[in-house]
Amino acid sequence: MFEEFIQLFDDPRIRATAIAIGSIFLAFVIEVVVINALRVLASRTETTLDDLIVAALQRPLFFSVIFFGVLYAGRALGIAEEWDARLVSVLSTLAVLLWTAAALKIGTAVLRSASRHARPNAVLQLRTVPMFDILLKLIIIFVAAYGVLVAWGENVGAWIASAGVIGIAIGLAAQDSLKNLFAGIFIIADAPYKIGDYIRLNDAGLSGTVTDIGMRSTRIVTRDDIEINIPNSVIGNDKVINETAGPYRKARIAAKVSVAYGSDVDAVFEVLETVTRELEGVAENPAPHVLFTEFGGSGLEFSVLVWLKEPRLRENLVSVLNTRIYKALAEADIEIPYSKHDVFIKEFPEGGLKPTARRLVVDGQGGRSEHHAEAPAGARLVAKRDA
């Protein structure tokens, strides 16, 4: 009976089917047993690098075993040599693509992990990771392209010889992409910002936290939790304001307020210093402080200076601080001056009567009052504005 079972494999179709089924079974065994065992071992370490490597290797290992099974199953069927070569080329191309994707993920993970444990003067740091990541990806993609050409039996030397012509054609067809690529390299080398910084683009009018510096674009997340991809060439030609650069990650805001002449300056200082206490998002060091900046046209000008823990909190804290200042001054009966406009309208009445003047006073609260006065001869329309 055993001999009869062995004789079944003399049939090429049964042998090919057995090889295919066996490769699929072996692939599942590797995924269930080997990969899961590696995951358990990786989970016991403090770093997450080995977890990322195991996750990246799972799919290439699984499909590579199946590809080998398909290849040998085809040869067991006795397919023609021409079709065998094409099958090898197709399976090799698929394998190269899978392993290339895994290599890109593993390379990026290794670079980021190494940058976190790098010495202060090391070449590989958090801010230089994107540059090395770009170079590593280019090398991996070049090797993958070489592998695909070899798999299809192409003459690589001829491709290299014609690289100059191909480079010119690609340069003309992908000018914007090349601009973004070189701008990305210069941005990383010059380091106007790094991942995690809060930046503002002066001309583009965009602001947000940098989450990634890639080959083509830089990604930022705005205060509205919206991710924006900005081409590197746009950033390279714009004025970049890095609000988190400097000795520490803080930003200062100045809330300006005016009080009426005759107000008690000491009382104003006390009220304005009180509003900054226990304000969420405001740093304790440097401490908030109040400045009497100038004698304005309508009142005494003060500035309330506070430091924010995060620049992205600027808009919310400006609103909260202005609200507190207004309420505190109102409770202390300290007047906030407003603009007053005096409008003089002079006209000649009909009938040759002496011209009269009407003075219309409009204050900042919408109140109006009208005064009549005698106007001199030849008077004309005059408008006067008092700040």
Q: Are residues 376 and 307 in the same domain?
A: no
Please write down the HEC assignment for all residues of 302-364: EEEEEEECCHHHHHHHHHHHHHHHHHHHHHCCCCCCCCEEEEEEEECCCCCCCCEEEEEEECC
Q: Are residues 19 and 93 in the same domain?
A: yes
Strand locations in 107-164, DSSP E? none
Q: Are residues 214 and 300 in the same domain?
A: no
Q: Are residues 95 and 201 in the same domain?
A: no
Q: Are residues 92 and 8 in the same domain?
A: yes
* Domain encompassing residue 227: 177-242
At 298 the pLDDT is: 84
Q: Is residue 258 part of a domain?
A: yes
The domain tally of the chain equals: 4
Q: How far apart are CA 263 and CA 161, in angstroms?
A: 84
Q: What is the largest CA-CA distance in the chain?
A: 137
Q: Are residues 44 and 135 in the same domain?
A: yes
At 305 the pLDDT is: 92
Q: Are residues 83 and 153 in the same domain?
A: yes
Q: Are residues 6 and 139 in the same domain?
A: yes
Q: Is residue 360 part of a domain?
A: yes
Contact present, 360 and 343 (Cβ < 8 Å): yes
Angle, in degrees to the nearest 10, between helices 129-151 and 81-116: 170
Which H or E element spans position 82?
A: helix 81-116
At 175 the pLDDT is: 75
Q: Is residue 170 part of a domain?
A: no
Q: Are residues 264 and 219 in the same domain?
A: no
Q: What is the pTM of this model?
A: 0.53
| Average pLDDT by stretches of 10, the chain with 387 residues | 57 81 90 89 86 90 90 82 86 93 92 80 73 86 88 74 68 73 78 85 88 85 88 89 77 89 92 87 86 90 89 85 93 86 65 50 50 48 45
At 341 the pLDDT is: 66
At 48 the pLDDT is: 86
- List CB contacts of 384: < 8 A, sequence separation 6 or more: 342, 343, 344
Q: Are residues 28 and 118 in the same domain?
A: yes
Q: How far apart are CA 384 and CA 344, in angstroms?
A: 7
Last residue of some domain: 214, 242, 270? 242
Handedness of CA 45, 49, 50, 55 (dihedral sign): positive
Q: Are residues 313 and 348 in the same domain?
A: no
Q: Are residues 194 and 231 in the same domain?
A: yes
* Residue 216, domain CATH: 2.30.30.60
